[in-house]
Amino acid sequence: MSRGLRFNVFRYNPEDGDSVPHSDTFFLDETQSMSLFIALTRIREDQDSSLQFDFCCRAGICGACAMMINGRPGLACHTLTKDLPNEITLLPLPTFKLIGDLSVDSGTWFRSTHEKLESWIHTDKIFNPQAEEERMDNALAEDIYELERCIECGCCTAGCGTVNMREDFMGAVALNRIARFMLDPRDERSEREYFEVVGTDEGIFGCMGLTGCEDVCPKHLPLQKQLGVLRRKMAWSAVKHWFRFR
């Protein structure tokens, strides 16, 4: 016999002056291999067509469907209802601008963060589209790829106590991004230039190191290791700078 599921879903449309934040309750019979994405789609198709939530790939690739699932950030398309109790509470990710119900605008946050971090390869070389691709050591390419697997879902940002308390803290996803460029031999930025970007209280020195980010990352990125390496490099850079100018 299938389980009956009860969904408590956050509802609010900031664009509608008459809308007030509240929770709506929906009931569904659980089906085999039901994901939260399937459940929400059924609710929207059969019970309330005004329900807003985001999805694109349905395969854990685009990061659009991240939301708070029983108090923990996660991907709706990758979460099976069988792994949850029969009462499921869904809220939008905090720390991002609310579009409506479970839908948030994480894209604007990511774009402005990447602009602030100058999240691209810095080089003086002139790009030649006809030239052969530069070779890279396989082991190094794999290390860079490991950090490139981020799908920008925002779960680590939503799960970070520091980001929730301080809007100016850039969070693990941004620090991981810088760690990725520091590994890349094509990026010619000096350690001091990286320090200017992340060697601050808004950057690595604001991180409390409590691992909330890695615990909720659906792609299991090694965030703690990267934060540790970055913290040591930036602290060492600060010491060297201090000795040079004292």
Given the rule CB under 6 A, which residues bind ligand FES? 55-58, 60-65, 75, 77
Please name the helix (run of DSSP H) or strand (run of DSSP E) that holds residue 98, with its range, or none: strand 97-100
**Near ligand SF4 by CB under 6 A, which window of 41-49, 116-124, 130-138, 204-212?**
204-212
Backbone angles phi, psi at 28, to 5 degrees: -145, 150
Number of Cβ within 10 Å of residue 238's Cβ equals 13
Site string for ligand SF4, 207-226 (x = CB under 6 A): xxxxxxx---x-x-x-----
Q: Taking a C-beta distance cutoff of 8 angstroms, is the pair 85, 70 a contact?
A: yes
CA distance to 44, 143, 246, per residue, from 224 (Å): 38, 15, 33
Picking from 161, 151, 160, the residue whose alpha carbon sits closest to that of residue 78 is: 151
Q: At what angle do helices 171-183 and 106-117 cross, to 10 degrees?
A: 40
Which of ligand SF4, ligand FES, none lies near 61, with the C-beta cut-off 5 to 8 A by kind?
A: ligand FES
Q: At closest approach, how far in Å is the CB of 55 from ligand FES?
A: 4
Q: Which of 176, 194, 233, 234 binds ligand SF4 (CB under 6 A)?
A: 176
User: In terms of C-beta distances under 8 Å and separation of at least 24 residues, what long-range contacts does 208-214 make, across chains too?
Assistant: 208/161, 208/162, 210/161, 212/156, 212/159, 212/160, 212/161, 213/156, 213/157, 213/159, 213/160, 213/171, 213/172, 213/173, 214/156, 214/172
Q: Does 108 bind ligand SF4 (CB under 6 A)?
A: no
Distance of CA 18 to the CA centre of its chain: 31
Q: Does 155 bind ligand SF4 (CB under 6 A)?
A: yes
Q: Does 160 bind ligand SF4 (CB under 6 A)?
A: yes
Q: At closest approach, how far in Å is the CB of 31 from ligand FES?
A: 19
Q: Which of 5, 68, 93, 153 binds ligand SF4 (CB under 6 A)?
A: 153
Q: Which of 5, 173, 174, 198 binds ligand SF4 (CB under 6 A)?
A: 173
Q: Is 23 left (phi over 0), alpha (psi -120 to 50) or beta?
A: beta
Q: 76 or 213: whose CB is closer to ligand SF4?
A: 213
Which of ligand SF4, ligand FES, none lies near 136, with the C-beta cut-off 5 to 8 A by kind?
A: none
Q: Which residue has the tokens 């920008």?
A: 152
Which of ligand SF4, ligand FES, none lies near 107, with the C-beta cut-off 5 to 8 A by kind?
A: none
Which of ligand SF4, ligand FES, none lies near 92, with the C-beta cut-off 5 to 8 A by kind?
A: none
Name the site residues for ligand SF4 (rule: CB under 6 A): 150-156, 160-162, 171-173, 176, 207-213, 217, 219, 221, 227
